[in-house]
Amino acid sequence: MSENKPTRRDVIDAELQKTKAELAIAKHREAKLRNQIKGMTEKERRHRNIVWGSHFEYLLREKLNVSKEQLATLDDDRVKDILNTLFSDLSFRRIMQNILAEKAKHQSPTE
């Protein structure tokens, strides 16, 4: 037998190393994709918060006749107080639960 001829063990070890390298690459790609998904969902959340916040301001201005100057005086704690007061109202909570339940009925199972 020649010393240079690869043995079955050498072939298996080489294949094992190759497979380990491929696995490491696949794990790296998976982590990269997960980070991309996380970034996308954070971007979508930021966008939603901006849209909802602007609609909240619109409702304060249009429905309660709050001026832009009055809006500028509101700080985070006052906005939290407004929302906490709104959500402490039982009839408002029931309406919200009904709206959310109705939306859930209309969504398809794949969404």
Task: pLDDT tens for the chain, 111 residues: list them.
Answer: 455 677 899 999 999 999 999 999 999 999 999 888 888 888 899 999 999 999 999 999 999 999 999 999 999 999 999 999 999 999 999 999 999 998 887 775 554
Predicted confidence at residue 110, as pLDDT, reads 54
- Is there a contact between 71 and 61 (Cβ–Cβ < 8 Å)? yes
Q: Give the list of residues 6+ apart from residue 79 with CB closer than 8 angstroms, or none.
A: 56
Alpha carbon of residue 59 to chain centroid: 26
| Domain ranges within the chain, ordered by starting residue | 1-66, 75-111
Residue (of 82, 88, 87) closest to 53 by Cα position: 82
pTM value is 0.55
Predicted confidence at residue 1, as pLDDT, reads 47
- Is there a contact between 60 and 71 (Cβ–Cβ < 8 Å)? yes
Predicted confidence at residue 108, as pLDDT, reads 55
